[in-house]
A and B are shown apart, each in its own frame.
Chain A
């Protein structure tokens, strides 16, 4: 049901009955290591290309998620996925081995919540009994496609972010045990003219602000209704900007715990990740690996995840275009809240 202007309210309470995360070595050295289902010790994962390694991450995450949900691959009626690579090849190729009807989506790093929102919508509307949402990113494929060859010796500025190597998948059902997807606010594209691809945090912050404000206005909720609100990958430059903008406009963000997946996935003081994590794997592994467990064991009752995405292409920024950004927010709660 549409609530307000841009929020889907899921009356039938779709349940996340299983989720899984698979990550690379750097995430495995981060503070959330214990929450991931599988940690690969090498970036190449014994594959012949970075792209194949990325695909493997997603295939493993979706396999584990189906297993955790107590289902078989055939039970997944729709798989909704997306990633950062051109023509979202990681998802299309992984969907080939999954064999489920597939909807590919692109929302850059916001894809994690974009796919979760649609997967929940399909359940809520009665169009499916079981759906799965999945997303993946790999540090080296992102470097290769958006920046320079991985071994190229360029100095990254402190505003740059480190793309997370990781995949996350969640299986949703109409009934079952697990956290509930309460509602989803679909974001608008925001572009305030930031052109620096090494400062994505600042480019994406207004999108997060816009979507969060819309979410509160649509639902009549306030930040204090959530035990935790996280943005996707604004990191140490963008996140404080988003917080400052929200508070400036009178949204009481200090009433809740407001943080960012890009600041949680690494120890940014010890690991050499500049401003923090990014990539669609960032919010996916933090949400599906860490936060869902916290909701399930009762540490958190209700959370809001606003995944942020920079919708640029290597071509668009080379042509001097600014960076359009988007954020999608999904509210997840423990059963019975």
Chain B
């Protein structure tokens, strides 16, 4: 409390322990609606999958591919669309709204590589683009491979189903 009657003077210094302050600050964080975020992610993620399905059908019916053969060009097309949207500065704006909806599908993976490549172009093709392109995507590949390894071991031991 102010002990000076002449307006100003000695005020008490902040009296809160770090633990108290962290709780105090936590209570004053604006809340994020997990439900709304999940619904948005579900809808946008779903729409991206629907788009993928549509593209695959196009390859099947227009290019006469079978279902398996059509899947690779489908993924490539989605990646292409994502890269174009990233380069035009649109993808990050959709992602702010869609959250995991645009991060989880293959388009998010493409965005992470393309955005890093664009960002580090100024540092040259080798030390910039080449070295930084997997800055974000690298983790996905590392842990994706590790997860696949353990799933493969499980499959070997338990002989559970799957495609042969």
Which residue of A is nearest B108, CB measured? A153
Cβ A217 vs Cβ B9 within 8 A: yes
**Interface residues of A toward B: which range?**
35 or more
B114 shortest CB reach to chain A, Å:
7
| Listed stretches B70-78, B94-102, B146-154; interface member | B94-102
- Whether A151 lies near B122 (C-beta < 8 A) is no
The SS class assigned to the B binding surface is helix
Classify the interface of chain A: helix, strand, loop or mixed: loop
In chain B, what residue has the closest Cβ to A240? B28
Given contacts A151-B86, A237-B30, A252-B2, contact A194 B25 (CB under 8 A): yes
How distant is the Cα of A149 from the Cα of B121 in the complex, in angstroms?
11
B149, chain A: closest CB distance, angstroms: 26
- Alpha-carbon gap, A159 to B21, bound state (A): 16
Partner of A151, one of B6, B19, B118: B118
Complex Cα distance, B15 from A221, in Å, reads: 21
Q: Smallest CB-CB separation from A250: which chain B residue?
A: B1
A residues within 8 A CB of B94?
A: 153
When the two chains form their complex, are residues A249 and B11 in contact, meaning their CB atoms are under 8 A apart? yes
Q: Tell whether, in the assembled complex, residue B11 and residue A250 are in contact, meaning their CB atoms are under 8 Å apart.
A: yes
CA A272 – CA B29 in complex, angstroms?
Answer: 18
Known: A216-B9, A219-B8, A224-B7. A155 touches B96 (CB 8 A): yes
With A148-B115, A151-B111, A153-B91 as given contacts, are A241 and B28 in contact (CB-CB < 8 Å)?
yes
Please indicate the chain A residues that have their CB under 8 angstroms from the CB of B32 in the complex.
Answer: 157-158
Cα(A122)–Cα(B68), bound, Å:
74
Q: A residues 215-231 with Cβ under 8 Å of B?
A: 216-217, 219-222, 224-225
Q: Is the CB of B91 within 8 A of A159?
A: no
Cβ-based interface call for A50 (8 A): yes
B-side residues, CB < 8 A to A, are 1-2, 4, 6-16, 18-19, 21-22, 24-25, 28-30, 32, 37, 86-87, 89, 91-92, 94-100, 102-103, 108, 111-112, 114-116, 118-120, 122, 135-136
Q: Which residues of A contact B (CB under 8 A)?
A: 48-51, 144, 148-159, 191-194, 199, 202, 205-206, 209-210, 213-214, 216-217, 219-222, 224-225, 236-237, 240-241, 244-245, 249-252, 272, 275
